[in-house]
Structure 1
Amino acid sequence: MFQVPDYTGTVSERLSEVLAEIGVDERTVLRRRRTVLLAESVENSALQLQDKKLTEYYFGSQSEGTTTQGLKSDTDILYSSSDLIILQDWSDWQPGVHNLLMIQDDTVSPGYCLLQYLRDDVPLPYNYVLHEHCFRDRTGRILLSNTFMSAAATTAHFTGVNNGPAYTVGGVPGVPDTDYVPAYPCKTWPLQARPWLNQQGAGHWPSDDMKRYCSNTGCFVVCVGSKGSENEELEWRISTSLAERCLMLNLNITQIQCYVLMKMILKTYIKPPYEDTITSFMCKTVLFKLIASTNSNFWREKNLLVCLLFCLFCLYNSVLNENCPHFIIPGNNLMAGHITQESKPHILEILQYIINSEGTALLGIKCDALGSRLQLKLNYLFSINERCFVSGYLLKTTARSINESINACLGCISNSSYEVAIQTLLKYIFKLAIFSYQCQGLDKTGCGLLAPWFCTTLGSVLASLNIQQYSSISVEALTWITLGLNTDVSSSKLKLASMFYCIGDINSTELVLTDIEGSYDQNIVEPICMCYNFGLLACREGFNEISDNHNENALKYATASCVRFLSCEINCIPAELQYELFRSTDEDLAFRGTCDYWMDWAVMDSLPYLYFLQYKTYSNLGRQDDKQRALSNLIMTIEQEPNLGHRETALNLLGQCMEQEDRPTDALRCYLLSLNLRGRNNAAKFHICRLLSTIVNHQAETMF
């Protein structure tokens, strides 16, 4: 269908250079993978700490490292629940739990299965319908409908737009959409996929070791049936996602670049007119098939354009035949029901145009400005390297993942007593120590990133109890908080400064605050807030450069998380910030989301909290110039720092500073600005009422 022109070697090299500049090179791909797989480890550790019977897996482009900023790939998270045991052999039946037998026979579509309910007291099937999600088929088997998982997911507070088996959460600028897919695990390799283990193509890929690993990953069942099947509500799709992730992680950089280019071509030429026809998973499957049938020497940088053209040719044939066999379960045709007779000739025409263009069609790709970048490369002109930008995005992703996990764990003790909070935090810390001892690699790293945060909180809770009982801080509390001082640039140290401030140790407070200010380079440090989703802007250039040269260790000196105080830390919170613990009226509670447990805390962005504490400290020390400098810095931060998650809280603190400066009009303006930012669940309401009462009473006293 096409001939390889002489210039392909040069174009391939320039094309590979352009892809490297936008983050599709070995170094950045490995960094992407590490970021996402570390997030997976961190969040699974957090789920275990909360005793939840869930394991989450990050699949798709983000975990594979096969995306770019311009592709805006979703984050795909599969939540695997261990409430049920899926078995393929009666010998795997277990007493006392819910057992389901996976049925893969001629009545089921390839790539799908039925789930038969088994008794939990003896290894026998049920012979009566248990609940509304069970059905008796013609042979008398009691089968579980895939609507059961959808109902369970709704009960478990999966929120978002229902999209097949997934629940899509998104709509926040700067944050990729997230597809949550509930699933049940099966520890054994699916029967339909067993022939694949013995197949061997010309490329000798996958290797025997890879296949052995894949066979040990088992599979999942996902709550969706084959479209058009007469058993659509009873069928469950078999997912070999762990095996597929293994295959993707064993591709070389040319194969990855080829896959990314296919996705860019889809985004540019196919998806705009024909959205739901060809998917990136079909492209991945075509790539797998071609790799398995070609010599490994074919996949090299100087051959990139040829590799791409061959992939597109295979994709063309798949569309022509309306058949794209699943790589591991070939009986499952991924294109079934996707290509209509109306769209088929147009899609074939588009693919033929791209193939026959011999690479010039790539110049029309606007995603990541690939076309214009390639044109510049071919003309020997300068092109911008975005690798640092990607590295910054990835480090910030790690920071956000850690903060999200910490928030979820602390949410379990939002309004707990001292005793319960201390016992829970100790449980978290000791569990993480055990996990860390038992695991290695990224799982061990994840435990090490989580534990210090709980040490800081435990130290602060103990200090609050000490202050209540003895008006002092114990050595035990100081020891615990010291173990977590280096979580980031400022948040843990600010909690230490708060503790000293609240017992009146102003000199120690000043020493800690001076240390924080010296470490907080505003050209580098990025604020991190995961209390709620708000639009994120590009990271600082200094942060991006640091991120490009370091791994997650850079979190210690390049990020500044929110300062979080639980209600049981109240004695470590300055009086002005304590109002935030009581931000919600009874009416406000109805306007909270399922993850808004932070609204029961006193939470503040690090930088404005630093300046607020400086203002209070210098006021106590009588250093007027330093006090006014801190106040000016607080005002400037509120006005100019774009990535503040709790700007309304900062305005509430600024308003109280203005009251102390005897500037009630400015104070009222601050509270009104705060209320404009967050109309509900905002302590500004209390401040406005209090301030107006003070003004009225003062005027009354003046009159009489």
Structure 2
Amino acid sequence: MFQRPSYTENVSLRLSEVLADIGVDERIVQKRRRKWLLRESTQTISSQLQDRNASAYLLGSQCEGTTTLGLQSDIDVLVSHNDINVIQDWADWEPGFLNYLMIQDETVSSGYCLLQLLRPDAPLPYNVLDQEHVRDRTGRILHKNIHISAVGAKVWKGGVRHGPAYARQRQSGFIDIDTVGALPCKSWPLQARQWLDQQGVGQWPSDDMKRYCSSTGCFVVGVGKKDSENEELEWRISTSLAERCLMFNLNITQIRCYVLMKMILKTFIKPYFGDTISSFMCKTGLFHCIANTYSNVWRENNLLVCLSLYLFVLNSSIFNEYCPHFIIPGNNLMRGHISHESKGYILEVLQYVINSEGRALLEMECDHLGARIQLKLSYLLFEFDIEIKENLSTLISGNLLNCTAQLNDMVIKRCLTLITNSSYKEAIQTLLKYIFKLVIIFNQCQGLDKTASSLLVPQFCTTLGTILASLNIQQYNGISVEALTWISLGLNTDVSSSKLKLASMLYCIGDSQRTEVVLRDIETNYDLNIVEPICRCHDFMCQPYRKGFHATADNHNEEAIQYTTAVCVKFLPCEINCVPRELRYEMFKSTQEDLAFRGDDKWMYWAVVDSLPYLYFLQYKTYSYHRIQKKQRALFNLTRTIDQESNLGHRETALNLLGQCLEQEGRARDALRCYLLSLNLRERNNAAKFHICRMLFTLANDQ
């Protein structure tokens, strides 16, 4: 095939351009990797703040940058339980840990192991049974792999089990998440040591890459080989960090081949046979293909030939039902996975794609790939095609920035739930602990760990300052220098939320002049063409973000959070004295009947409001007594924001605030309408019920 070099080169270049248009280029790949590795650091730090000895690792296509918007790749999260030490050599036994010896003998499937429990006081076998362990025929106490799955079922409630993972799936508007628990082993697996000395014609991976891979150790995951006699005792050996290293060292042509292969599966195979051929099999096939192909083949103007070579490798693997794990070759990934019926169809499809010399790609609807290729080849560069090119790059960047901001908000929320019902003293001590831990991480770590801690610590400073101010107001109706100092350390977390807390506490002590100054500063910096509301209190379907937000995100990394996002404003019960009377109702939003419907949503004990509506509400209250025109402008802006801002997470709260403003204006009927609209949005745990009852009581007494 490909007897015409000019045709092959032309199609390869156009195909490379199309893939760049949909976000598969060096810049966007690096943006994706940075964002997901930052998320990995943030999630691990979150565990440390909550005194959990665990690390999170984000794996798979999202973190590798080997995906597109149309592929809708899920997120693979591996949670390593670091208080457990899995060893392959008795010399690696450590006191203070739960130690297991990895058993890899002829009774265990290749790529798997058994875990023998060791004594806590010495590197010797343990001899006491419990529900998590079983004694085998030789007398060894072995860890059952079903225990970690049972733990996972409790942690990831509502998830669907897929092998060792728990998946959050099919929630409209949200990425699927597969979370798996794992046990860490610091040493490189015995079954993979031969791989370190192998080298194919492509001279890939390099010796440096292999040295790094061997330093990553491995994990064991709680799932046995299917149909193995030890299925409930076997643990799969995972070299996922080494595999991620290999993916991070691919060039852009190799990445594009992998993306195209996933699109081929999505178009021609998955609709009929699901995940018979998994993306991990495709990834492994790509590794083998690169290792056995000269490196100068992998060029942009040779993309079509590279894809063909890759297809031949996968075709051969399926035909022989043999796809050896790249690092642990004794583990055949395809064994028992392909039925006779599906095998024939899949081979036929792959042969069709190979023989088509690229024409089969025109049939692919994912990311409109086929239509885009046709436009490129016919040189019909319509105006809308250029717009699509620009929008996809900025769209991806905007999504990445928004996800980073949402994760930070979620981490803060999770930590604050632990002090929801705390006393002033307990809350202050806990927040100081969080802050000191983050400062230590910032000073001791480098790279994205330092970045993650710097993004989190200011928000805790803000909350600490507000709690101190609330205590000050309770004691002497003023605010101490200490409280203001802590608040000042967190004023630039985002465009508005921290500054709004400052304005709120100033309003509560009657300092209207300084309140007005802060509110004016917020409004000046809140660019309605750029700033997006951020809320992770609950899951709701977000509408498309502003073009200005996407454009700004495309030119910056996570630092853009400070001037492109507006996080919802959260007040804990111990901050109540910094909360205006109208918003305090939100802390008591639940009837006795409603309490049963709260679930684990601790934020419902808080007063939470979106930044922009709260800005206009505070302006209305600040201007109420002496600036009628500005007061009416604030009321108009509050009404307009509730009607037109599509991504408010607490619209019902904003309606409750608007209703109380309208009551103060003497517009009782309009106020009642606001409360009813609020109740339509959130039927339970809504302060609107109280406002409606209060209004009806007042009206009845007046009559």
Establish whether TM, by shorter chain, passes 0.5.
Answer: yes
CA–CA distance in structure 1, aligned partners of residues 81 and 596 of structure 2? 30
Q: How many angstroms does 1:157 deviate by?
A: 4.9
Structure 2 residue aligned with 1:64:
64
Structure 2 residue aligned with 1:339:
338
TM-score (norm. length: structure 2): 0.97
The AA in structure 2 aligned to 1:296 is: S
Counterparts of residues 28-43 of structure 1 (less than 5 Å):
28-43=28-43
Selected match of 1:598 from 597, 603, 610: 603
RMSD: 1.4
Structure 2 residue aligned with 1:612:
617
Counterparts of residues 288-299 of structure 1 (less than 5 Å):
288-299=287-298
Is residue 2:693 matched to residue 1:675? no
Q: How many angstroms does 1:158 deviate by?
A: 4.5
The AA in structure 1 aligned to 2:669 is: T
1:573-602 per-residue CA deviation (whole Å, 9 max, x = no partner) reads 1111111112223432322343x1211211
CA–CA distance in structure 1, aligned partners of residues 653 and 52 of structure 2? 32
Is residue 2:274 matched to residue 1:275? yes
Is residue 2:95 matched to residue 1:95? yes
> Alpha carbons of 1:64 and 1:157: their partners in 2 closer, same or farther (altered >3 Å)?
closer
**Which is worse superposed, 457-466 or 654-663?**
654-663
The AA in structure 1 aligned to 2:108 is: V
1:438-495 per-residue CA deviation (whole Å, 9 max, x = no partner) reads 1111111111111111111111111111111111111111111111111111111111
Please list every run of 5 or more consecutive structure 1 residues that lacks an aligned counterpart in the other structure.
700-704
**Which is worse superposed, 241-250 or 671-680?**
671-680
CA–CA distance in structure 2, aligned partners of residues 565 and 492 of structure 1? 11
Aligned-residue sequence identity (percent) comes to: 68
Local SS of the residue matching 2:333: coil
CA–CA distance in structure 2, aligned partners of residues 369 and 155 of structure 1? 40
Q: Are the aligned partners of 1:276 and 1:338 in contact in 2 as well (CA < 8 Å)?
A: no
Q: Are the aligned partners of 1:219 and 1:242 in contact in 2 as well (CA < 8 Å)?
A: yes
CA–CA distance in structure 1, aligned partners of residues 2 and 124 of structure 2? 59
TM-score (norm. length: structure 1): 0.97
Q: How many angstroms does 1:104 deviate by?
A: 0.9
CA–CA distance in structure 2, aligned partners of residues 46 and 343 of structure 1? 44
CA–CA distance in structure 2, aligned partners of residues 158 and 210 of structure 1? 38
**Which is worse superposed, 52-61 or 153-162?**
153-162
Structure 2 residue aligned with 1:286:
285
The AA in structure 2 aligned to 1:63 is: C
CA–CA distance in structure 1, aligned partners of residues 70 and 156 of structure 2? 31
Local SS of the residue matching 2:167: strand
Q: Are the aligned partners of 1:43 and 1:402 in contact in 2 as well (CA < 8 Å)?
A: no
Structure 2 residue aligned with 1:380:
379
Local SS of the residue matching 1:175: coil
Q: How many angstroms does 1:97 deviate by?
A: 3.3
Q: How many angstroms does 1:128 deviate by?
A: 4.1
The AA in structure 2 aligned to 1:609 is: Y
CA–CA distance in structure 2, aligned partners of residues 96 and 185 of structure 1? 15
CA–CA distance in structure 2, aligned partners of residues 599 and 343 of structure 1? 51
Structure 2 residue aligned with 1:524:
530
Is residue 2:694 matched to residue 1:693? no
Counterparts of residues 12-411 of structure 1 (less than 5 Å):
12-131=12-131, 133-382=132-381, 383=385, 384-385=388-389, 386-411=392-417
Q: Are the aligned partners of 1:564 and 1:601 in contact in 2 as well (CA < 8 Å)?
A: yes
CA–CA distance in structure 2, aligned partners of residues 584 and 145 of structure 1? 44
Q: How many angstroms does 1:4 deviate by?
A: 6.7
Local SS of the residue matching 1:179: strand
CA–CA distance in structure 1, aligned partners of residues 163 and 42 of structure 2? 28
Local SS of the residue matching 1:183: strand
Counterparts of residues 556-635 of structure 1 (less than 5 Å):
556-594=562-600, 596-620=601-625, 622-635=626-639
Structure 2 residue aligned with 1:702:
none
Structure 2 residue aligned with 1:496:
502
Counterparts of residues 461-480 of structure 1 (less than 5 Å):
461-480=467-486
Q: How many angstroms does 1:332 deviate by?
A: 0.8
CA–CA distance in structure 1, aligned partners of residues 557 and 128 of structure 2? 56
> Alpha carbons of 1:4 and 1:81: their partners in 2 closer, same or farther (altered >3 Å)?
farther
Selected match of 1:432 from 416, 434, 438: 438
Q: Are the aligned partners of 2:409 and 2:535 in contact in 1 as well (CA < 8 Å)?
A: yes
CA–CA distance in structure 1, aligned partners of residues 158 and 141 of structure 2? 30
CA–CA distance in structure 1, aligned partners of residues 95 and 46 of structure 2? 29
1:253-294 per-residue CA deviation (whole Å, 9 max, x = no partner) reads 111111111111111111001102101111111111111112
1:312-347 per-residue CA deviation (whole Å, 9 max, x = no partner) reads 110000000011111001111111121001111111
**Which is worse superposed, 314-323 or 545-554?**
545-554
Q: Are the aligned partners of 1:88 and 1:102 in contact in 2 as well (CA < 8 Å)?
A: yes
Q: Are the aligned partners of 1:173 and 1:536 in contact in 2 as well (CA < 8 Å)?
A: no
Local SS of the residue matching 1:634: helix
Selected match of 1:651 from 652, 655, 679: 655
> Alpha carbons of 1:115 and 1:586: their partners in 2 closer, same or farther (altered >3 Å)?
farther
Q: How many angstroms does 1:186 deviate by?
A: 1.0
Q: How many angstroms does 1:397 deviate by?
A: 1.2
The AA in structure 1 aligned to 2:70 is: G
1:593-642 per-residue CA deviation (whole Å, 9 max, x = no partner) reads 43x1211211111111111111111113x222221211111111111111
